[in-house]
Amino acid sequence: MHIGLILDGNRKYAKKKKLFPAYKGHVEGKKALEKIMFYWAKQKEPKYLTLYVFSLYNLKKRNKIERFFILNLIKREFKKILKVKEISEEEIKIVFLGNREICPKSLRNLMDEIENKTKKHRKKTLAVCVCYDGQEELVEAFKKIKDKKIKNITKETIKNNIYSNELPPIDLVVRTGGEKRLSGFMLWDASYSELIFKKKTWPEYTIKDFKEDIKEFKNRKRRFGK
């Protein structure tokens, strides 16, 4: 089973709780994410979990101070990942999806270090979308295919050339924060995903919510467009 989480609503939470500046809501979102991660690490399912942490759009459009704050928060979390014993104990492989070239060099180096450290892990996979955009992912894939001079292009050809080439299709996408759209999240892999949209902001999302969403998914009858 593969679940995708769109971690939305951190700024809304900050405004609701009168935190200032609003981007401090991301700190509370980080706390919620850590709880979900430690719970997930101990479970057999889902085997695959993909997080939409920071979009390419936000990197380009958010003001300089907020962008600096969020990137440093991400960097601190990545450094912590290197020391989390559950990553090795549960054999969790970690991969990063997105436009790495646009990320700060220090962040790219951390991504490389984490991927190298976990590349032999086989039990579970955590994919983290940073500086990610689903449309750009497809554009980059088509460029690779063109450079390889592949003439017979199939669905498998495209899948083999996108960021998530090692991951299966996403079964369930959960988005918090009240918005009801994918915002460019995993456009290829989420094409037949079941969708759950939550009014709760991400900092309010709990382990109980996570378990209930999995239960709802298992009770749905999937049709895959039929």
Alpha helices in the chain (DSSP H): 10-16, 25-41, 56-61, 64-81, 85-89, 105-118, 134-147, 155-159, 207-219
Answer yes or no: 112 catalytic. no
Which residue is listed with tokens 């997105």?
A: 98
Of 10, 58, 72, 160, the active-site residue reads 58
Check 8, 133, 189, 213 and give the catalytic one.
8
58 is catalytic: yes
CA dist list (Å): 168 to 101, 158, 164, 177, 220: 25, 13, 8, 26, 19
CA distance 81 to 79: 5
Q: Which positions are catalytic? A: 8, 58
